[in-house]
Chain A
Amino acid sequence: MIDHIITNTTGLTIKIVSIAIFISSFEYIYLLYRLKQYSFVSQETISLSSKLYSNNRLKFIFKDSVFVVLQAIKILSTVVLFVLPPHGALWSLVLVVLFITCLLSNYRDSIGREGSDQMQLIILMALFLTSQFWSSELLRLIGLIFIAIQSSISYSVAGISKLFSKYWRNGSAFFSIMNTVSYGDQRLAKLYHRRKYLGLITCWIVIVFECLFPLVFFLPERFMFVFLGTALIFHLANAFIMGLNNFTWTFLATYPSIVLTNHLLMN
């Protein structure tokens, strides 16, 4: 029974994270071909940022053409993982390939990486290390609990660091962000400038929600789903307003593990 639940949770996790990586890889290819600014880093500049560059055997990973190939491999792997059931040698092999290509791609493009890229790597690392092909049921369960804990840490750390920030405590942070072109929205900036109390309420809702996220493991099933639903709405709002599209899929991929961990603790 538990084996079946672990397999289903793993399958759901990899399918959702595959969607995130699929979109992100196409975005990289688009940037490289449509906007030449993305293909800007010269070999000389990379050598300043990376110790790997001095290793002649690994130098090739910094070439633009290799970067495109990595994205193509990522796209192909995500399609295969989306279609295949989460067990067997082929599934494990493709997972290893996806993990390594994501690792290289992240390494090559490490300046300005996003939290979603980091979470994708963590999910893939856990699933790869605890793959069914070489792991027992217990280790696979540990891998999923690890994903759930990492997700919970990410929310609570974000909440605690906001709690220690005067900009978040006094409610000015949300207006500040909305008042930028990069992540903001002019209409919301206008509204939050006119009604200062809205900023205070929004900031404190975010702080309290993020800080209390670890409680999700100890809530009765119905409340846990309400809590996770709220988190999903939070990510969707961030995707619509701030343009952080990949966070939604990536963090959603951790929720099956959270549900499983909650079931283990509560039952």
Chain B
Amino acid sequence: MTTIEFCITLFLVLFTIVCGVYQLHSHRSLIKKYDFLRIVPVWTFFAPTPLSHDFHLMYRDILTDKKQKWIQIKMIKSKSLFTFIWHPERRLKKKLIAISNLIGLEIKKYKDIHGEIPSAKDLESTFPYKMCLDIIMNEPILKSGKNFRQFMIAKTKGTHIPSKPEIFFVSVFHQIQNND
């Protein structure tokens, strides 16, 4: 075995050890800090807490001081017969779940530091907030003029036993950038 081959083997062994340690929640943040390529995996699939909610991203506009109805951004399509080979929408669902969980983490982080629940304004500069804002700002603008837009993440539970939608997060109003 040459030196290069020895180094590659050593890397694969070390990578396996790091992967094992990464699964322990307590060591995750340290490894994440040095995982520049985001290559170390998490293998906990639906555990320890299984998914029990669906998240829905909605937005509404204020047009000349009049609040419009909430509009839901359709991310979840019903599954087709070919879902087992072709199912691109799953990435959108996963992304929305991830963004919602990140907002939940930001709320928790703020509470731990400041000892109080943050207002929407406090989270305005965070990554998940800005992602949601980007999504809703890409939606069509109904009327031109000086308008404002707000987003909400709602949670629902159940297909068989549906529950009432629960408000998870509501943003502040943001001015819509009109091109005209």
Residues of A within 8 A of B (CB): 23, 27-28, 30-31, 35-42, 44-45, 48-49, 51-52, 103, 106-107, 110-115, 118-119, 121-122, 125-126, 129-130, 134-136, 138-139, 142-143, 146, 149-150, 153-155, 157-158, 161-162, 164-165, 167-168, 173-174, 176-186, 189-190, 193, 236, 239-240, 243-245, 248
Contacts and interface: CB of A to CB of B under 8 A. Distances in A.
Contacts, number: 209
B39 A125 contact: yes
B119 interface: no
Nearest to B79: A243
Identify which of A51, A143, A173, A248 gathers the most chain B CB atoms within 10 Å of its CB: A173
B83 interface: yes
> Which 8 residue pairs spanning A and B have beta carbons closest together?
A165-B48, A112-B95, A189-B160, A118-B41, A27-B88, A112-B98, A239-B84, A173-B50
Interface in B61-104: 73, 75-76, 79, 83-99, 102
Nearest to A104: B37
Contacts of B127: 45, 48-49
Interface stretch (B9-17, B108-116, B146-154, B165-173): B9-17
Given A31-B91, A176-B51, A184 B159 contact: yes
Contacts of B94: 112-114
Q: Is the interface of B mostly helix, strand, loop or mixed?
A: loop
B98 A146 contact: no
A179 B47 contact: no
B23 A161 contact: yes
B3 interface: no
A146 B16 contact: yes
B35 to A, nearest CB: 11
Contacts of B43: 115, 153-155, 157-158
B87 A107 contact: no
Interface in B1-35: 1-2, 4-5, 8-9, 11-12, 15-16, 19-20, 23
B44 interface: yes
B24 to A, nearest CB: 10
B39 A27 contact: no
Contacts of B93: 182-183
A37 B75 contact: yes
A153 B23 CA distance: 10
B22 to A, nearest CB: 9
B45 A243 contact: no
A51 B36 contact: yes
B138 interface: yes
Contacts of B79: 185, 243
B160 A161 contact: no
B161 interface: yes
B159 A165 contact: no
A45 B134 contact: yes
A177 B135 CA distance: 26
Contact of B46 (A28, A135, A177, A193): A177
Contacts of B52: 176-177, 179-180
A246 B92 CA distance: 15
B16 A149 contact: yes
Contact of A248 (B12, B84, B90, B96): B84
